[in-house]
């Protein structure tokens, strides 16, 4: 038993030193990239696993369709990045193989299909690894249901909490297991500032800080304290704090939920509650997601790789709406707002107004490719 304790203490010391170094690096980081100043913007497309390559291929077609002039002029380069698959990751025993990571880092923004994460073992989630390696600290997920007066934007801290150390826990066989959670001052400040800046710039008056600070007194307590400090810099915005358990109930409470606008929360809570919110919107297949850092950005569907669809031979019927919405976010982020607006309008027509081609996720509906063509035909028909 003593040798296990000694090993665990050594491991924790190593983790502690790594996180202190990460905090110090964040304090020295410079500001965000200015895409308008770049001679060329490089967009990488990673297929991922399961239905990922199917929906990503349609998204790449959509990007090339919308950015045809920019690609031809050399202003934009779109490159397909291979190898971010569970098979390749297992073979190389790396969450993101080195050669794949180098390709990803050669881009400015990434459009990524869902990747499979193994249960158990030590192989880290590709998503967690990418968020860490690219320092994508803000996971931003919008949810909108106009007929119910719902217009929510979630800011989830993306590089800390339980996830960053999730594969580095300690286990004493037949006795117990520990996992770790980390909250840094610098990490919390930057996600809080991102949320409040978004609220200010978009005319939002309410930010809901979501924690479990009454139980997780050190980590969530620090997150709460720093968020409220940042809130003082934005006096025109009301900052309330809610515990995660009651907030999950609030989202389904039709009497009060329309009063929420911007949500700010640590990693795990954000992962859970944004899936709930997407379900209210119509399902996880209807929501896109962006992961933002100062140097890189990654855009993705919020759902998984749906291995059952592949096993059943119906992968071609996957719904690409979520990754199409992520594509819209990508276009907005890099400054192509007119193209993003066209895509947004077309998706609204295709999924809410006309609904001439409907994807159900099964053979009774349209294929992913058929829906993709419908969206592009709709964009083509729109007047400038």
Question: Which pLDDT does position 123 carry in this prediction?
Answer: 87
What confidence tens digit (pLDDT) does each residue in 219-262 have? 999 999 999 999 999 999 999 999 999 999 999 999 999 999 99
Q: Which of 17-26, 27-36, 81-90, 101-110 has the lowest mean pLDDT?
A: 27-36
Domain ranges of the chain: 31-136+293-381
Question: Which pLDDT does position 165 carry in this prediction?
Answer: 84
Would you tell me how many other CB atoms lie within 10 Å of the CB of residue 223? Answer: 31
Non-local (6+) Cβ contacts of 290 within 8 A are 139, 140, 141, 297, 298, 299, 326, 329, 330, 333
Whole-number percent of the chain with pLDDT over 70: 99
Question: Which pLDDT does position 211 carry in this prediction?
Answer: 98
Would you tell me how many other CB atoms lie within 10 Å of the CB of residue 228? Answer: 13
> How many Å apart are CA 47 and CA 80, to the nearest integer?
8
Mean pLDDT of 176-203: 94
Question: Which pLDDT does position 286 carry in this prediction?
Answer: 73
Query: How deeply is 174 buried, as exposed, middle or buried, from its count of CB atoms within 10 A (0-12, 13-18, 19+)?
Result: exposed
* Mean pLDDT across the chain: 93
Residue 173 has pLDDT above 70, yes or no: yes
Question: Which pLDDT does position 301 carry in this prediction?
Answer: 86
Name residue, tokens 């291995």: 307
Name residue, tokens 């119509």: 282
Q: Is pTM beyond 0.75 here?
A: yes
Mean pLDDT of 132-147: 91
Residue 31 has pLDDT above 80, yes or no: no
The superfamily in CATH containing domain 31-136+293-381 is: Isopropylmalate Dehydrogenase (3.40.718.10)
Whole-number percent of the chain with pLDDT over 90: 81
What confidence tens digit (pLDDT) does each residue in 85-129 have? 999 999 999 999 999 999 999 999 999 999 998 887 778 889 889
Question: Which pLDDT does position 282 carry in this prediction?
Answer: 80
Question: Which pLDDT does position 384 carry in this prediction?
Answer: 61
| CB 268 within 8 Å of CB 161 | yes
- Structure tokens, 66: 């919308």
């Amino acid at each position: 038993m003593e040798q296990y304790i000694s090993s665990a203490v050594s491991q924790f010391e190593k983790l502690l030193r790594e996180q202190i170094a990460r905090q110090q690096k964040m304090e020295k980081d410079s500001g965000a990239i200015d895409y308008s100043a770049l001679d060329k913007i490089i967009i990488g497309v990673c297929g991922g696993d399961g239905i990922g390559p199917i929906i990503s291929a349609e998204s790449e077609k959509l990007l090339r369709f919308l950015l045809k002039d920019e690609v031809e002029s050399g202003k934009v380069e779109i490159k397909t990045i291979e190898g971010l698959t569970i098979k390749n990751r297992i073979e190389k025993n790396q969450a993101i193989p080195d050669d794949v990571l180098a390709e990803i880092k050669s881009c400015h923004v990434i459009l990524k299909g869902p990747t499979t994460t193994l249960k158990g073992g030590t192989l880290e989630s590709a998503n967690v690894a990418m968020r860490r390696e690219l320092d994508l600290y803000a996971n931003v997920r919008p949810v909108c249901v106009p007929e119910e007066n719902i217009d929510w934007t979630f800011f989830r801290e993306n590089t800390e909490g339980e996830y960053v150390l999730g594969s580095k826990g300690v286990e004493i066989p037949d006795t117990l297991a520990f996992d770790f959670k980390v909250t840094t001052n610098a990490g919390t400040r930057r996600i809080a500032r991102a949320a409040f800046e978004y609220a200010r710039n978009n005319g939002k008056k309410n930010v809901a800080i979501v924690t479990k600070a009454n139980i997780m007194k050190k980590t969530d307590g620090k997150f709460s304290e720093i968020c409220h400090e940042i809130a003082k810099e934005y006096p025109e915005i009301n900052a309330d704090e809610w515990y995660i358990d009651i907030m999950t109930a609030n989202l389904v409470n039709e009497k009060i939920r329309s009063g929420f606008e911007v949500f700010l929360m640590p990693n795990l809570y954000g992962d859970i509650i944004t899936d709930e919110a997407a379900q209210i919107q119509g399902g996880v297949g209807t929501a896109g997601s962006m992961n933002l850092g100062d140097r890189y950005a990654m855009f993705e569907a919020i759902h998984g790789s749906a291995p059952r669809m592949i096993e059943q031979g119906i992968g071609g019927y996957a719904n690409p709406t979520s990754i199409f919405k992520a594509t819209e976010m990508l276009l907005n982020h890099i400054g192509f707002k007119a193209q993003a607006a066209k895509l947004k309008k077309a998706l609204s027509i295709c999924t809410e107004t006309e609904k001439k081609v409907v994807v159900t996720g099964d053979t009774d509906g349209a294929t992913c490719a058929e829906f993709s063509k419908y969206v592009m035909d709709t964009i083509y028909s729109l007047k400038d």
